[in-house]
A and B are shown apart, each in its own frame.
Chain A
Amino acid sequence: MSAEGAIETIRTLLSAGWLSLVDYLAAHVLLCLVPAFVIAGFMVSMVPQEAVTHYLGSKASKWISYPAAAIGGFVLAVCSCTILPLFAGIWKRGAGLGPAITFLFVGPAINILAITYTGAAIGFDVAFARLSLSITFGIVIGLIMAWVFQRKRASQPLQDKIGGVFDHKAKVRPVVWIVFILLFMVLIVGTLQVNLLTQTYISINLAYEISPEFLAGLQDAGLTIQGLLLILLLGIIAFIAWLGVENVLDKFSSWSYTAIIMVAITILVAAVRITTGSLEININGRFVGEFILLTTIGIIASRSFSKGEIASWMWETWRFIKQIFPLLIVGVFVAGILTVLIPEVWVQTVAGRNTIWANMGGVLFGIFMYFPTLVEVPVARMFLDLGMARGPLLAYLLAAPGLSIQSMLVLGRIMGRKKTALYVVLVAILSTVSGLIFGLFQ
């Protein structure tokens, strides 16, 4: 290959990475991700763990502990560093091996970030399948594990000495639930494709012509005016957050207020439809809905939450963003490049059709590759673009977050090889089967 050829190839690859990045930072993805991060931060800071762990103690009946373990991940497990101690705690001091396994499997798969992001980037059919099947399987796998190893759990030495951990009850104020529902509606209004929301009610024509050259340049970069605006806003938020959220627990400064307002503005900008050309802003139902919701949340939050509570909400949100977003951007960029590099034929031969081997392939890939939180989604999107069938895709998404070489090693140390092996086999089989069934309905 000549030097020019090599440079040309590198340019193609970089532009493929860039385009997939632009695609991911587009309005509809941001309308999901921004509220999802805020909700994740909200749950961690406002809903105390005891609200869920109370139902996971050793005295809880099966009918309560399994569902609580499955749904508990939604509230408790947004951060992977909290999963293992909770898992070990539920197993040894609480409801036992079964619910602990349920929690372990469901936790990373059903957190709000993973589900909404899957919905926005791949499709809500896959997202809902991922949510409901993860919960079902988590419970089934937990029950099987508990049944197989039931005799070995005759004594519970730890339980009586320090049983108290699960006894704490926590009251969650009603206002927390109200704000939670409103935040959730921000997410729904931002994503639901119904006429009421997508219809334009008022068009505002900014009598400002953008120079055609600038527009052409934008188009070359795969951007729209709105996209450019959103990327700029994200950059500004990152900068302001660094000034006003990083240290918000020590001092609630005017930068902190600015950060809140900027996040609201970003959601609003992502909600409107901007017609390029003569720069027309279309006020649609989405915008109106988001505006009403965000204002209501602002009023309620400022009245009912103390500054300390809001500060910790912001800090937790920012912590998630710092922890997840940089890796996500790298992941999206690399996935974009790989889409060009990997020949479609490979993916289509292995997983192009909904066969048992294709589903198994999806699962094996999920097990052997380790991706940081959420990065499994752009990778799935890459496979979809390369021609993977939706069944194997779901199989991969079910297996990937729960299983990786790394987590298997840690698990092996905590609960021994035998239990870990059975867990892995069960996850692999059930993921394969559900991918297969899901694929039938496509």
Chain B
Amino acid sequence: MLNIKILGSGCAKCKRLEQVTRKAVDQQGLAAEFEMVTSMEEIMKWPILSTPGLVIQNELVSSGKIPTEAEVAQWIEAAVRAS
């Protein structure tokens, strides 16, 4: 099962990122657990400059923007292949 973390204090962008990611996961018919990391201290442990950040299988793949569904799909594929 994939572990996906959304880093962000819960602003509109983070919700959008979650939506996009969930869609990408569903489309590939995978199962994933989503973790919303909202505490600033936890977020700052990742090398990101601004929220929202996306972490797939403990690897930061994007930060500071909302990636497209296609981009997220690629990252998920890569993560699945690696595991």
Interface residues of A (CB under 8 A from B): 48-49, 53, 76, 79, 81-82, 84-86, 88-90, 92-93, 162, 164-166, 249, 308, 312, 315, 319, 322-323, 410, 413-414
Contact = CB atoms under 8 A, between A and B. Distances in A.
Interface in B32-79: 40-41, 43-44, 47-51, 64-66, 68
Interface of B: 8-9, 11-13, 16, 40-41, 43-44, 47-51, 64-66, 68
A85 B51 contact: yes
A164 B48 contact: no
B48 A89 contact: yes
Determine chain B's interface SS by DSSP, over half rule.
Answer: loop
A164 B47 contact: yes
A85 B49 contact: yes
B65 A319 contact: no
Contacts of A79: 11
A82 B51 contact: yes
A48 B65 contact: yes
B66 A165 contact: no
A165 B64 CA distance: 11
B9 A81 contact: yes
A76 B65 contact: no
Contacts of A53: 49
Contacts, number: 52
A312 B66 contact: yes
A323 B12 contact: yes
Nearest to A164: B47
A441 B9 CA distance: 43
Determine chain A's interface SS by DSSP, over half rule.
Answer: helix
Contact of A165 (B12, B16, B43, B47): B47
Interface hub of B16, B50, B65, B66 (most chain A Cβ within 10 A): B50
A267 to B, nearest CB: 25
Contacts of A319: 12-13
A85 B12 contact: no
Contacts of B16: 249, 315
Given A49-B64, A249-B16, A85 B11 contact: no
Contacts of A81: 8-9, 11, 51
A408 to B, nearest CB: 15
A86 B49 contact: yes
Contact of B50 (A86, A308, A312): A86
A90 B50 CA distance: 11
26 contacts: A48-B65, A49-B50, A53-B49, A76-B50, A79-B11, A81-B9, A81-B51, A82-B50, A82-B51, A85-B43, A85-B49, A85-B50, A86-B49, A86-B50, A88-B44, A89-B44, A90-B49, A92-B44, A164-B47, A165-B47, A308-B68, A312-B66, A315-B16, A322-B12, A323-B12, A414-B40
Contacts of B48: 85, 89, 165
Contact of A162 (B41, B47, B66): B47
Contacts of A249: 16, 66
B73 to A, nearest CB: 15
A413 to B, nearest CB: 8
B49 to A, nearest CB: 4
Contacts of B50: 49, 76, 82, 85-86, 89
